[in-house]
Amino acid sequence: MKETFTKGMARNIYYGGSLFFLLLFFALSFDTVSELPDRDNRQAINESVTLGKKVWEVNNCIGCHTLLGEGAYFAPELGNVVKRYGSKAAVKAFIMSRPKDGVPGRRSMPQFNLSEEELQGVADFLEYVGGVNTENWPPNIQG
Amino acid sequence: MKYQSQSIAKLYFIAAIGLFVGQILFGVVMGLQYVMGDFLFPYIPFNVARMVHTNLLIVWLLFGFMGASYYLVPEEAERELYAPWLAKLMFWIFLVAGAATILGYLLVPYAELAKLTMNDLLPTMGREFLEQPTITKIGIVIVALSFLFNVGMTVLTGRKTVVTIVLLTGLTGLAVFFLFAFYNPVNIVLDKYFWWWVVHLWVEGVWELIMGAILAFVLIKITGVDREVIEKWLYIIIALTLISGIIGTGHHYFWIGAPGYWQWFGSIFSALEPIPFFVMTLFAFNMVNKRRREHPNKVATLWALGTAVMAFLGAGVWGFLHTLAPVNYYTHGTQITAAHGHMAFYGAYVMIVLTIISYSMPIMRGRTANGPKAQVMEMWSFWLMTVSMVFITLFLTGAGILQVYLQRYSDTPLGFMVVQDKIELFYWMREVSGVIFLIGLILYIMSFFVKHDDEVTA
Ligand code: HEC
Ligand code: HEM
Ligand code: HEM
Ligand SMILES: [Fe+2]
């Protein structure tokens, strides 16, 4: 490096640049949060969805599945599963019917022994997530 | 070793390596579950193995960062650590809390663990990488704060160098952004939006500061290049990191409900993120070429160059591959992501921790460098682990390209499970590479036990 570009200049770019872009990031985040009500399907959130998110979390569904493309890549995307299965009842039936000891030779999903209320909650939660405006992601119904 | 209290780092490094072994064992288990779906089911379901794998990774890297700080801060600050007893106490607290959490994952169903740890009081569990019970998260905050206090007081009452200030900034950022782990609204979009403030702002923000500082320290020591020169490079690197990386968070906001403008902000800024990694590579090679001394620790130099190159490949090249919104539309949440995640984490953070261990461990054991036999063995482990990680990445990339095509791009998209069956061969090859990685790791550990009769004491 030539002496024309000194350590002091590098330091100033670091402090100035970081501060500027951090503030810009906060501003964009503020704008995002204020635009979300029109995009995030919050009107669908009710007691059942709240319970459903809890069931989703305490059973660590994200440890095998993706949700809106984030999570693990071992099992199908679930953000659009209600659409893929055609109904919440079908989704509930799938979750309910998992064999305790898995399916021989196949990637298996545990039997969580959920109550009817919890099952309904998860299904409602997945339907709520399916209503988020994701800019048309995923590309097709397979997720 | 100039200061007695630096030796606390040894404790941290030993724990780090131990947990690293656990991480890889569970990686290999998962690799097998990918192709033999019922392996260990229902005793260790995939999600449990995954939590263990990723949480051990994060915890051991944190041990590594803390050990690195305890080693280099006293030397830079030219004084003993502010409170060595606190560093030792926190070590045990962190280790016990970490081990208890991992055992919790393995021994009781996750829902049971949530109940036992009263997750309902402040629900934070069940999100990727942040699966720890809330009480563990609080423990992490306490450990992080005491650690910051200890290191901070040492820096502030001693000589302040660019290396320590940058390191401290990175560590403070690490603690601050972790606080977003406690924010868990029902609204899934808000949840995801701020979840990335932990994950992205860690690995593509403040952790890069930590990495840069550690790399700069090791390069000062092994090359003897003038500190002024190295510090200038360091400032340039971290300036580029934060200028690109903060807004670059937007590459995670394309499809989760955030406004469409993030496709522009995220794509453009994250496309610049490889630059600091590239500069880091230039930096490492330049400093080694301009070295003013021949340090006998050759293998530490190898790690230092290796981490720069592999971080550039994993984060820079493999990150760029899928970071533009039109590409990410198809690759989002596929094996491409996994390929990138592996090489980036390994290249940047695993290797930087192994670099400082490689440099400092011999010194803490009373010699400038290990003898040639031990060094050669460590070099073998370097190549075994690094090359097998390259192959893991390549196989996952192959799997990912096919997955994207068959499931998302072709005119007749197939279902997820059908596609997974079709690309099984790639998962088998990943598993074989994983086993070789494990062998490399075992060799790495063995290199610590080579008799040092022919040690170098230059
Ligand atoms: C141990 C891994 C694992 C966990 C944890 C898990 N799943 Fe699954 N899940 C799977 C696998 C594997 C499949 C695909 C099964 C098959 O096709 O035979 C699946 C399929 C599904 C499907 C059907 C998707 C489709 O497109 O066919 C739904 C719905 C589902 N899971 C919901 C859940 C919910 C809700 C939870 C949390 C309560 C959960 N899963 C936790 C592994 C898991
Ligand atoms: C130091 C080496 C390793 C590092 C740093 C590492 C890191 C990671 C990370 C960060 C994830 C989460 C990925 C994501 O969410 O995109 C992950 C998941 C995973 N890792 Fe590793 N890993 C390593 C070694 C291995 C090995 C050797 C194997 C197996 C042979 C392995 C198998 C897996 C599997 C199967 C997953 C789950 C992917 C999924 O969600 O479907 N890892 N690892
Ligand atoms: C050392 C630095 C980095 C590390 C450790 C890292 C690690 C990771 C990990 C683990 C994930 C998966 C997260 C999840 O589970 O959802 C991820 C995702 C991603 N990373 Fe990185 N990364 C790094 C740098 C970069 C850079 C520099 C870029 C861009 C140039 C980048 C682009 C991406 C993108 C676009 C995704 C989202 C993938 C998806 O849509 O599924 N990363 N990264
Ligand atoms: Fe990112």
Which ipTM score applies to this complex?
Answer: 0.97
Helices (H) and strands (E) in chain A, counts: 5, 2
Question: Between β-strands A66-67 and A70-71, what pairing exists: parallel, antiparallel or unpaired?
Answer: antiparallel
8 Å CB contact of B126 and A62: yes
Structural domain including B293 reads: 213-450+454-458
Asked if the model's pLDDT at residue B458 lies above 60, the reply is no
Determine the pLDDT at residue B451: 84
Whole-angstrom CA distances from B1 to B165, B227, B350 are: 21, 19, 24
Query: Do residues B9 and B145 both lie within one domain?
Result: yes
In-domain check, residue B274: yes
CATH code (residue B301):
1.20.210.10
* Ligand 1 centroid to residue A3 C-alpha, Å: 60
Q: Are B9 and B360 in contact (CB under 8 A)?
A: yes
pLDDT tens, position by position, B246-258 = 999 999 999 999 9
* Ligand 3 centroid to residue B320 C-alpha, Å: 9
Please, what is the angle between helix B162-178 and helix B207-223, to 10°?
160
Whole-angstrom CA distances from B222 to B59, B77, B350, B355, B365 are: 28, 18, 20, 11, 17
| CA-angle at B426, arms to B422 and B430, nearest 5° | 145
What whole-number distance in Å separates Cα of residue B264 and Cα of residue B248? 10
In-domain check, residue B191: no
Whole-angstrom CA distances from B43 to A55, A91, A103, B107, B402 are: 20, 25, 14, 9, 31
In-domain check, residue B204: no
What whole-number distance in Å separates Cα of residue B45 and Cα of residue B48? 5
Instruction: Please list the residues that pair with A71 across neighbouring strands.
Output: A66
Phi first, then psi: give them for residue A66, nearest 5 degrees: -95, 155
Within B290-333, residue ranges assigned H as helices are 298-311, 318-321, 325-331
Kindly indicate the confidence band of residue B1, based on its pLDDT and cuts at 50, 70 and 90: confident
What whole-number distance in Å separates Cα of residue B134 and Cα of residue B129? 13
8 Å CB contact of B189 and A71: no
Query: Do residues B258 and B395 both lie within one domain?
Result: yes
In-domain check, residue B201: no
What whole-number distance in Å separates Cα of residue B380 and Cα of residue B306? 13
Q: Are A127 and A88 in contact (CB under 8 A)?
A: yes
Kindly indicate the confidence band of residue A104, based on its pLDDT and cuts at 50, 70 and 90: very high
Query: Do residues B132 and B263 both lie within one domain?
Result: no
Report the percentage of chain A scoring pLDDT > 70: 99
Of A5, A18, A45, the CB nearest to B242: A18
In-domain check, residue B254: yes
Determine the pLDDT at residue A74: 98
8 Å CB contact of A54 and B123: yes
pLDDT tens, position by position, B169-208 = 999 999 999 999 999 999 999 999 999 999 999 999 999 9
* Ligand 3 centroid to residue B341 C-alpha, Å: 6
Domain boundary pick from B143, B160, B177: B160
In-domain check, residue B96: yes
Query: Do residues B134 and B247 both lie within one domain?
Result: no
- Using DSSP's 3-state secondary structure scheme, residue A70 falls into strand
What average pLDDT does range B286-306 have in this prediction? 97
What is the residue with the minimal CA distance to atom 27 of ligand 1? A76
Q: Which residues contact B430 (CB under 8 A, 6 or more apart)?
A: B31, B34, B391, B392, B395, B396, B399
- Ligand 3 atom with the shortest distance to the CA of B245: 27
Query: Do residues B246 and B394 both lie within one domain?
Result: yes
Domain boundary pick from B144, B160, B176: B160
Query: Do residues B222 and B128 both lie within one domain?
Result: no
Instruction: Please list the residues that pair with A130 across neighbouring strands.
Output: none
Asked if the model's pLDDT at residue B456 lies above 70, the reply is no
pLDDT tens, position by position, B323-354 = 999 999 999 999 999 999 999 999 999 999 99
What average pLDDT does range B393-412 have in this prediction? 98
Query: Do residues B220 and B135 both lie within one domain?
Result: no
Query: Do residues B277 and B141 both lie within one domain?
Result: no
Query: Do residues B231 and B143 both lie within one domain?
Result: no
Which helix (H) or strand (E) segment is B382 a member of?
helix B372-403
Q: How many CB atoms lie within 10 A of CB B190?
A: 19
In-domain check, residue B168: no
Query: Do residues B126 and B218 both lie within one domain?
Result: no
Domains held by chain B: number? 2
Determine the pLDDT at residue A2: 53
| CA-angle at B245, arms to B244 and B250, nearest 5° | 100
Asked whether the CA dihedral B329, A59, B196, B148 is positive or negative, the reply is: negative
In-domain check, residue B192: no
Domain boundary pick from B115, B140, B160: B160
Query: Do residues B135 and B225 both lie within one domain?
Result: no
The CA-to-CA distance between both ends of chain A, in Å, stands at 50
Cα B58 off chain centre by? 7
Chain A contacts of B262, Cβ < 8 Å? 28, 32
